[in-house]
């Protein structure tokens, strides 16, 4: 039997490792939250839902590959039955739908985190981002299913049927949606710097924490690449070249999930590092910049373990207990709480300070 050129193996070799690596980062994030905080919050559940959608997308694409996805359309028509092409089209559509869900909810998760760290019109902007992402997602979910009947006509124009509008409309909306999503990625990635830069911390610590919380900018860059891939694919073989858009569709939410997990993993890494280097000590934080910030300094009960760490966590305005990655497992030292928006903790067992 003749071998036909296909991008199916490329998709298989790319999508599953991306999904697995993403699962590792997300798993460590959830473990760290449960280990040090004892519970998860809404942004964690939304991020978990995003990864589940990603897994379903990759599974559907793998199924579509078995029916010919990735082959040139001329080879597909020559070697596959019409029922196989229909199944291939349906699985691709299902995969695309879950990719859209994964992409948008990975962004919504980070935006929900930012809701707890912002006030005033910055909080309003974050709400605007959340609402816009959800509203843009609805047409993106509907259009692939609605614009051509039967479904396989979207891939093969020789198939009898009708299309409500041309492929260019679908491509144009996909490009618009990707562009606006990239804007929100970049905007949300910059917000943590506003929160962090006003704190009295070492500059290196500010930069490290800010960079960790701004990695979503890479997701925005991938979104732009995906938009370019959609435009380039529009006038080519949709089955063969659709593989590249599919890979970017998977990489985009995976990058967002990893970017949202890394700031939490700093706590995990710091704890592991302190277990190997117990002599490491931090520095006491005394104030949070700005007259509007109210802080208090109080000791944490003694623990047997010795380590020192600094991090920033957040809580909703109506929560009676602060969300704290180490509220149940912190060694002795001091903590500084900015009660109106977020919590900063410093832990040091080897030193004691009585000043503010």
pLDDT above 70 covers a percentage of the chain that reads: 70
Range with top average pLDDT, 236-245, 274-283, 334-343: 236-245
pLDDT digits (tens, 9 = 90+) for 107-125: 999 899 888 878 888 889 9
What is the average pLDDT score of the chain?
A: 74
Output the pLDDT for position 156.
Answer: 63
Higher-scoring residue by pLDDT: 224, 234 = 224
pLDDT confidence of residue 294: 32
Q: What is the pLDDT of residues 295-336, one digit of tens each?
A: 333 333 333 343 434 444 444 444 433 333 333 333 433 343
In tens, the pLDDT along 10-52 reads 999 999 999 999 999 999 999 988 887 788 889 999 999 999 9
Instruction: Tell me what pLDDT residue 130 has.
Output: 93
Rounded CA-CA distance 316/23 in Å is 27
Q: Is the pLDDT of residue 188 over 70?
A: yes
CA gap 136, 179 in Å, rounded: 11
The residue extents of the domains of the chain are: 8-273, 278-356
**With respect to CATH, is domain 8-273 assigned 1.20.1070?**
yes
């Amino acid at each position: 039997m003749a071998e036909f050129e296909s991008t199916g193996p490329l998709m298989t070799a790319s999508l599953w490792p991306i999904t697995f690596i993403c699962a590792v980062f997300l798993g460590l994030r959830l473990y760290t939250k449960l280990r040090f905080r004892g519970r998860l919050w809404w942004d964690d559940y939304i991020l978990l839902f995003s990864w589940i959608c990603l897994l379903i997308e990759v599974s559907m694409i793998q199924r579509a590959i078995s029916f010919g996805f990735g082959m040139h359309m001329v080879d597909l028509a020559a070697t596959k039955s019409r029922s196989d092409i229909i199944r291939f089209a349906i699985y691709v559509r299902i995969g695309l739908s879950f990719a859209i869900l994964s992409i948008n909810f990975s962004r919504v998760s980070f935006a929900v985190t930012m809701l707890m760290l912002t006030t005033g019109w910055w909080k309003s902007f974050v709400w605007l981002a959340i609402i816009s992402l959800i509203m843009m997602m609805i047409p993106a979910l509907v259009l692939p299913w609605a614009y051509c009947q039967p479904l396989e006509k979207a891939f093969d124009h020789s198939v009898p049927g009708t299309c409500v509008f041309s492929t260019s409309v679908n491509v144009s909306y996909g490009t618009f949606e990707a562009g606006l999503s990239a804007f929100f990625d970049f905007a949300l990635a910059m917000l943590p710097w506003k929160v962090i830069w006003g704190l009295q911390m070492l500059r290196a610590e500010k930069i490290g924490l800010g960079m960790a919380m701004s990695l979503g900018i890479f997701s925005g860059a991938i979104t732009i690449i995906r938009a370019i891939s959609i435009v380039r694919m529009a006038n080519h073989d949709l089955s063969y070249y659709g593989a590249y858009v599919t890979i970017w569709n998977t990489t985009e939410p995976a990058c967002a999930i990893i970017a949202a997990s890394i700031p939490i993993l700093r706590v995990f890494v710091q704890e592991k590092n302190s277990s190997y280097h117990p002599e490491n000590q931090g520095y006491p934080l005394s104030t949070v910049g700005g007259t509007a910030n109210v802080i208090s300094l109080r000791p944490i009960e003694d623990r047997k373990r010795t380590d020192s760490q600094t991090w920033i966590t957040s809580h909703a305005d109506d929560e009676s207990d602060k969300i704290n990655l180490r509220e149940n497992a912190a060694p002795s030292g001091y903590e500084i709480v900015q009660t109106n928006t977020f919590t900063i903790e410093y832990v040091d067992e080897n030193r004691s300070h009585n000043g503010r």
